[in-house]
Amino acid sequence: MSNDARARAMAGPPVRVPVFAASLIGVLVMAIWALAAPTSAESALGSVTAWVTEWFGWFYVLLATAVLVFVLYLGVSRYGHIRLGPDHSRPEFSTFAWASMLFAAGIGTDVMFYSVVEPASQYMAPPVLEAETVEAARDATVWTLFHYGITGWGMYALMGIALGYFCHRMGLPLAVRSALQPILGRRIEGPIGHAVDTAAVLGTIFGVATSLGIGVVFLNVGLNLLFGVSVGTGAQIALAALAVIMAAVSATTGVDKGIRFLSQLNVLLALGLAGWILVTGNTSFILNAVVANVGDFARSFPAKTMETFPFVDNAEWMSYWTLFFWAWWVAWASFVGLFLARISRGRTIRQFVAGTMIIPFLYIVMWISIFGNATIERIRGGDAEFATIAQDFTGAGFYELLKGYPAANVVIALAVFVGLLFYVTSADSGALVMANLCSRLETGSEDAAAWQRILWAAVTGLLTIAMLIVGGIVALQYATIIFGLPFAFVLVLVMLGLLKALRREGRRVDSGAHTMSAKLSARGSDGDAQPASLWKTRLARLTNFVDRADAQTHLDDVVRPALDDVAEELGRLGVDTEVTPDLVGPEGSEQPAVTLRTLSEDEPFIYRVVLTEGPVPTYGGRMMQARDTHARLEVHLEAGGQDYDVMGYSRGQVIHDCLDNYEQHLQFLRLDSSTKS
Which region, left, alpha or beta, applies to residue 130 given φ > 0 means left and ψ of -120 to 50 means alpha?
A: beta
What pLDDT is stored for residue 587 in this prediction? 67
**Residue 544 pLDDT > 80:** no
Cβ neighbourhood burial of 308 (10 Å; 0-12, 13-18, 19+): middle
Q: What is the mean pLDDT of residues 611-626?
A: 66
Cβ neighbourhood burial of 24 (10 Å; 0-12, 13-18, 19+): middle
The pLDDT confidence band at residue 620, using thresholds 50, 70 and 90, is very low
Which region, left, alpha or beta, applies to residue 643 given φ > 0 means left and ψ of -120 to 50 means alpha?
A: left
Q: How far apart, in whole angstroms, are the C-alpha atoms of residue 532 and residue 117?
A: 80
Would you give the DSSP letter of residue 180? G
Q: In whole angstroms, how large is the CA radius of gyration of the chain? A: 29
Q: What is the mean pLDDT of residues 569-578?
A: 93
Q: Is 613 or 588 the better-scoring residue by pLDDT?
A: 613
**Residue 623 pLDDT > 60:** no
Q: How far apart, in whole angstroms, are the C-alpha atoms of residue 156 and residue 179?
A: 14
Which region, left, alpha or beta, applies to residue 420 given φ > 0 means left and ψ of -120 to 50 means alpha?
A: alpha
- Inter-CA distances, 495 with 49, 190, 474, 503, Å: 26, 20, 31, 12
**Residue 409 pLDDT > 60:** yes
**Residue 448 pLDDT > 90:** no
**Residue 367 pLDDT > 50:** yes
**Residue 518 pLDDT > 70:** no
**Residue 6 pLDDT > 90:** no
Measure CA 152 to chain center. Answer: 12
What residues contact 520, with CB distance under 8 A and at least 6 apart? none
Residue ranges with strand state E in 233-345: none
Q: How far apart, in whole angstroms, are the C-alpha atoms of residue 356 and residue 349?
A: 11
**Residue 260 pLDDT > 70:** no
Which region, left, alpha or beta, applies to residue 12 given φ > 0 means left and ψ of -120 to 50 means alpha?
A: left
Q: How far apart, in whole angstroms, are the C-alpha atoms of residue 85 and residue 570?
A: 30
**Residue 579 pLDDT > 90:** yes
Q: How far apart, in whole angstroms, are the C-alpha atoms of residue 545 and residue 237?
A: 65
* b/e sequence 384-423, b meaning 16+ C-beta within 10 Å: eebbebbbebbbbbbbbbbeeeeeeeebbbbbbbbbbbbb
**Residue 12 pLDDT > 90:** no
Q: Is 273 or 8 the better-scoring residue by pLDDT?
A: 273
Q: Is 405 or 105 the better-scoring residue by pLDDT?
A: 405
**Residue 471 pLDDT > 60:** yes
One-letter amino acid at 140 equals A
Please answer whether residues 472 and 217 qualify as being in contact, where contact means their C-beta atoms are separated by less than 8 angstroms: yes
Q: Which of 38-47, 224-233, 262-271, 384-393 has the lowest mean pLDDT?
A: 262-271
Q: Is 575 or 522 the better-scoring residue by pLDDT?
A: 575
**Residue 520 pLDDT > 60:** no
What residues contact 413, with CB distance under 8 A and at least 6 apart? 226
Three-class SS state of 541: helix
What does the DSSP assignment read for 547-582?
-HHHHHHHIIIIIHHHHHHHHHHHHHTT--EEEEEE
Q: What is the mean pLDDT of residues 216-228?
A: 92
- Inter-CA distances, 381 with 131, 204, 385, Å: 15, 41, 11
**Residue 74 pLDDT > 60:** yes
Three-class SS state of 619: strand
Max avg pLDDT among 93-107, 242-256, 462-476: 462-476
What pLDDT is stored for residue 185 in this prediction? 87
Q: What is the mean pLDDT of residues 357-375?
A: 92
Cβ neighbourhood burial of 620 (10 Å; 0-12, 13-18, 19+): exposed
Q: How far apart, in whole angstroms, are the C-alpha atoms of residue 338 and residue 161?
A: 9
Please answer whether residues 459 and 205 qualify as being in contact, where contact means their C-beta atoms are separated by less than 8 angstroms: yes
pTM of the model: 0.86
Question: Among residues 414, 423, 104, 419, which one has the least CA distance to residue 246?
Answer: 423
Please answer whether residues 341 and 429 qualify as being in contact, where contact means their C-beta atoms are separated by less than 8 angstroms: no
Q: Which of 374-378, 491-495, 614-618, 642-646 has the lowest mean pLDDT?
A: 614-618
Torsion angles phi and psi, residue 399, rounded to 5: -70, -35
Question: Among residues 649, 644, 641, 635, which one has the least CA distance to residue 557?
Answer: 649
**Residue 256 pLDDT > 70:** no
Q: How far apart, in whole angstroms, are the C-alpha atoms of residue 67 and residue 460?
A: 28
Q: Is 61 or 618 the better-scoring residue by pLDDT?
A: 61
Q: How far apart, in whole angstroms, are the C-alpha atoms of residue 57 and residue 54?
A: 6
Q: How far apart, in whole angstroms, are the C-alpha atoms of residue 471 and residue 202?
A: 20
What pLDDT is stored for residue 295 in this prediction? 96
The pLDDT confidence band at residue 622, using thresholds 50, 70 and 90, is very low
What pLDDT is stored for residue 1 in this prediction? 43
What residues contact 536, with CB distance under 8 A and at least 6 apart? none
Q: What is the mean pLDDT of residues 62-83?
A: 96
Would you give the DSSP letter of residue 230? P
Q: How far apart, in whole angstroms, are the C-alpha atoms of residue 462 and residue 243?
A: 11
The pLDDT confidence band at residue 107, using thresholds 50, 70 and 90, is low
Q: Which of 178-192, 393-407, 521-535, 649-663 has the lowest mean pLDDT?
A: 521-535
The length of the chain in residues reads 677
Using a pLDDT cut of 70, give the percent of the chain over it: 89
CA 496, 323, 294: angle at the middle one, nearest 5? Answer: 90
On average, the pLDDT of the chain sits at 87
What pLDDT is stored for residue 259 in this prediction? 61
Using a pLDDT cut of 90, give the percent of the chain over it: 55
What pLDDT is stored for residue 523 in this prediction? 56
- Inter-CA distances, 100 with 26, 256, 565, 600, 669, Å: 34, 15, 51, 46, 41
**Residue 2 pLDDT > 50:** no
